[in-house]
């Protein structure tokens, strides 16, 4: 019986909470479900920081069309079940105009149907192509397509005369999507994937896996596709094995911390990336230049850490939301339609051109090939 009493008390407490739920008037409510902690925190962390910074900035300027923006940020820890619970909460309880995030593709896929049913725009910060292909009317994404990154890498390989490669990917959603695209597109560029391995995202040493692929003398190049610290470990292990093979990384390498972590081993790694990493080296007239320089400066001075392309995905999500609301007002359906109408909109990931059939809005051009020289990112200019 004790138990029942306690239960009653806790339920009564819940009921009190519910009565106290506050009613905000006149603000534009936007939700965010990001993996601020947990295994994908390297994505969600910078994204959450960026969103908080941008909302502050917009509100300091008087909000959107004179109305303040209120951000409801939820930490999903990268798990779909929490993302589902929290997204439903944002949709019904806070009745947000749109939701930004989630950070990972698995979470986004599990939310797709919920947002279609709720007729609310979801602007995902996850990269997988499956999010927008096939198109769901209310689901958008900001990161560049993985296939563009793969194509960029293959084009470079063709120039270098590399035709037999090994592919290493991590077992996160990013690695999974990357492997699918690589295996699908490689034949178009006459490239043969000789060895492919999937390693654990938490792997701390990959020398055994490297030894295995190194033992295959046919391999002329290695692609590593991951977003985790293991991508620094892979390059180190390859170089420590005394292997001089050209190493290509995915756009997940776009955080200088991974270069620092890999130290001398990162020299010469070639990878595609958004222009955020070369903001100050862009020509003055470039449409993305002003915005990139400002974002990097603001972010770094506020959070005392280097800006990464991951935070940029959050930036783009908020910017798209802001632009659409400015045009259409805080109405879910109008916002959705307004996003599809956004053209020539520069963001950190590239210049966005949305349409009813393209809910990513970026092209191959969003990527530049980059390399590492003396511990810094520089544009790759071929050999």
Partner 1 sequence: MKWSNLALLPLFAVIGLVQVVCSATDSLFYLTQLTMSAYYSLLIIGLCVLMGYAGQISMGHAGFFAIGGYLAAALTTRSLVAFQDTLLVRLLDAAGCLIAGQDIYGEAQLVVTPWAACAIAVLTAAAVAFLLGIPVLKLKGHYLAMATLGFGIIIYRIVLASSYFGEADGISGVPGFTLLPGLSVSGEFSSRVENYYIAWGVLLLGMLLLRNLIDSRAGRALRAIHGSIEAADAVGVDTARFKLYTFVLSAVFAALAGVLLTHYNGGIGPSEAGIMKSVRYVAIVAVGGMANIWGAMIMGVVLNFLSLRGLFGSYDDAVFGLILILIMLFAPGGILNLRLGALWNRVGSKAKGRKEGAS
Partner 2 sequence: MTVELFIQYLVAGITYGSIYAIVAIGFNIIYNTTGIINFAQGEFVMLGGMLAITFLHFLPLPLAIAVAVLCTMAIGAAIEILFIRWLHNPGVLRLVIITVGISILIREAALHIWGDNVHSLPYFVGNEVSTIAVLGARVSPQVLWVIGACGLMVLFLNVFFQMTSVGREMRACAANRTAAVLCGIDTRNMVTLSFVLSAGIGAVAGAVMSPITYTQYDIGTGLAIKGFTVAILGGLGNSLGAVAAGLLLGVIEAFSVSVVPLAFQDAISIALLLVILFVRPHGLFGSSAAGLKEF
Residues in contact with partner 2 by the rule CB under 8 A: 37, 39, 41-42, 45, 171, 197-200, 202, 204-205, 207-209, 211-212, 215, 229, 232-233, 236, 239-242, 257-258, 261-266, 305
| Residue 275: DSSP 8-state | G
Smaller CB separation from partner 2, 152 or 236: 236
| Coil vs helix vs strand at 109 | helix
What residue ranges in 157-300 does DSSP mark as E strands? 164-170, 192-199, 221-225, 247-249, 270-273
What is the separation of C-alpha 283 from the centre of its chain, rounded to a whole number of angstroms? Answer: 25
Binding site residues, partner 1, CB under 8 A:
1-4, 6-8, 10-11, 14-15, 18-19, 21, 36-37, 73-82, 84-86, 88-89, 92-93, 104-107, 109-110, 112-114, 117-118, 128, 130, 134, 171-173, 175-176, 198
- Please identify, using beta-carbon distances, which residue of 65 and 95 lies nearer to partner 1: 95
Binds 359: which of partner 2, partner 1, none (CB < 5-8 Å by kind)? none
What does the alpha-carbon distance between residue 92 and residue 109 come to, in Å, rounded to a whole number?
20
Q: Which helix (H) or strand (E) holds 112?
A: helix 105-118
Q: How far is the CB of 171 from partner 1 (least distance, A)?
A: 6
Q: Minimum CB separation from partner 2 for residue 214, in Å?
A: 8
Pick between residue 238 and residue 338 the one whose CB is nearest to partner 2.
Answer: 238
Binding partner at 343 among partner 1, partner 2, none, C-beta below 5 to 8 Å by kind? none
**Residue 24 and residue 30 in contact, taking contact as beta carbons nearer than 8 Å:** no
Q: 49 or 371, CB closer to partner 1? A: 49
Coil vs helix vs strand at 306: coil
Pick between residue 39 and residue 379 the one whose CB is nearest to partner 2.
39
- Cβ closest to partner 1, residue 181 vs residue 288: 181
Q: Indicate the residue among 260 and 331 with the shorter CB distance to partner 2.
A: 260
C-beta of 175: minimal distance to partner 2 in Å? 10
Q: Tokens 């409510």 — which residue? A: 29
Please provide the distance, in angstroms rounded to a whole number, between the alpha carbons at the two ends of the chain.
78
The whole-angstrom separation of Cα 211 and Cα 153 is 23
Minimum distance from residue 167 beta carbon to partner 1 (Å): 15
Picked from partner 1, partner 2, none, the partner binding residue 261 (CB below 5 to 8 A depending on kind) is partner 2
CB of residue 333 vs partner 1: minimum separation in angstroms?
Answer: 17
Q: Which residues neighbour 346 within 8 Å (Cβ) at sequence distance 6 or greater?
A: 287, 288, 291, 352
> Quick one: what does residue 332 bind among partner 1, partner 2, none, with the CB cut-off 5 to 8 Å set by partner type?
none
Residues paired with 225 in a beta bridge: 169
φ and ψ at residue 70, rounded to 5 degrees: -115, 120
- 301 interacts with, out of partner 1, partner 2, none, CB within 5 to 8 A per kind: none
**Residue whose CB is less far from partner 1, 40 or 291:** 40
Spell out the SS3 assignment of 338-360: HHHCCCCEECCCCEECCCCCCCC
Tell the residue number behind the tokens 């190049």, with chain if given. Answer: 221
- Closest contact distance (angstroms) between CB of 254 and partner 2 is 14
**Closest distance of CB 170 from partner 2, Å:** 10
Structural contact between residues 222 and 166, judged by C-beta atoms closer than 8 angstroms: yes
* Closest distance of CB 69 from partner 1, Å: 19
Q: Which residue's CB is nearer to partner 2, number 151 or number 239?
A: 239
Burial of residue 383 (number of CB atoms within 10 Å: 0-12, 13-18, 19+): exposed
- Of 145 and 309, CB closest to partner 2: 309
Q: How far is the CB of 138 from partner 1 (least distance, A)?
A: 14
Q: In whole angstroms, how close is the CB of 304 to partner 2 at the nearest point? A: 10
- In the list partner 1, partner 2, none, the entry touching 134 (Cβ below 5 to 8 angstroms by class) is partner 1
Closest CA to 240 of 216, 262, 272: 262
381 binds, among partner 2, partner 1, none (CB under 5 to 8 A by kind): none
Cβ atoms within 10 Å, residue 7: 10
Residue 64: what are its φ and ψ, rounded to 5°? -95, 120
């Amino acid at each position: 019986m004790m138990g029942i009493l306690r239960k009653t008390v806790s339920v009564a407490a819940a009921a009190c909470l519910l009565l106290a739920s506050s009613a905000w008037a006149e603000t534009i409510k936007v939700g965010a479900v990001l993996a601020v902690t947990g295994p994908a925190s390297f994505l969600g962390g910078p994204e959450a920081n960026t969103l908080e910074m941008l909302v502050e900035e917009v509100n300091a300027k008087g909000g959107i069309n004179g109305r303040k923006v209120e951000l409801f940020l939820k930490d999903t820890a990268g798990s779909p079940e929490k993302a589902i619970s929290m997204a439903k909460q944002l949709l019904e309880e806070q009745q947000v105009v749109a939701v930004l995030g989630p950070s990972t593709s698995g979470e986004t896929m599990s939310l797709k149907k919920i947002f279609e049913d709720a007729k609310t725009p979801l602007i995902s910060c996850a990269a997988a192509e499956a999010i927008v292909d096939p198109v769901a009317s209310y689901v958008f994404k900001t990161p560049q397509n993985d296939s563009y990154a793969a194509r960029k890498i293959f084009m470079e390989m063709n120039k270098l005369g590399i035709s037999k490669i090994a592919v290493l990917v991590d077992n996160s959603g990013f690695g999974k999507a990357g492997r699918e695209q690589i295996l699908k597109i490689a034949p178009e560029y006459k490239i043969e994937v000789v060895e492919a391995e999937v390693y654990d995202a938490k792997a701390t040493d990959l020398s055994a896996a490297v030894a295995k692929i190194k033992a295959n003398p046919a391999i002329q190049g290695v692609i590593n596709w991951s977003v985790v610290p293991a991508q620094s470990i892979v390059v180190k292990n390859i170089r420590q094995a005394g292997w001089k093979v050209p190493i290509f990384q995915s756009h997940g390498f776009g955080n200088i911390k991974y270069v620092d972590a890999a130290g001398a081993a990162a020299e010469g790694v070639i990878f595609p990336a958004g222009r955020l990493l070369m903001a100050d080296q862009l020509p003055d007239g470039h449409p993305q230049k002003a915005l990139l320089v400002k974002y990097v400066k603001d972010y770094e001075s506020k959070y005392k850490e280097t800006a990464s392309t991951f935070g940029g995905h959050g930036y783009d999500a908020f910017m798209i939301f802001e632009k659409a609301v400015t045009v259409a007002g805080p109405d879910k359906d109008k916002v959705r339609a307004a996003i599809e109408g956004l053209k020539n909109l520069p963001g950190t990931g590239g210049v966005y051109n949305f349409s009813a059939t393209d809910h990513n809005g970026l092209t191959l051009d969003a990527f530049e090939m980059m390399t590492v020289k003396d511990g810094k990112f520089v544009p790759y200019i071929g050999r």
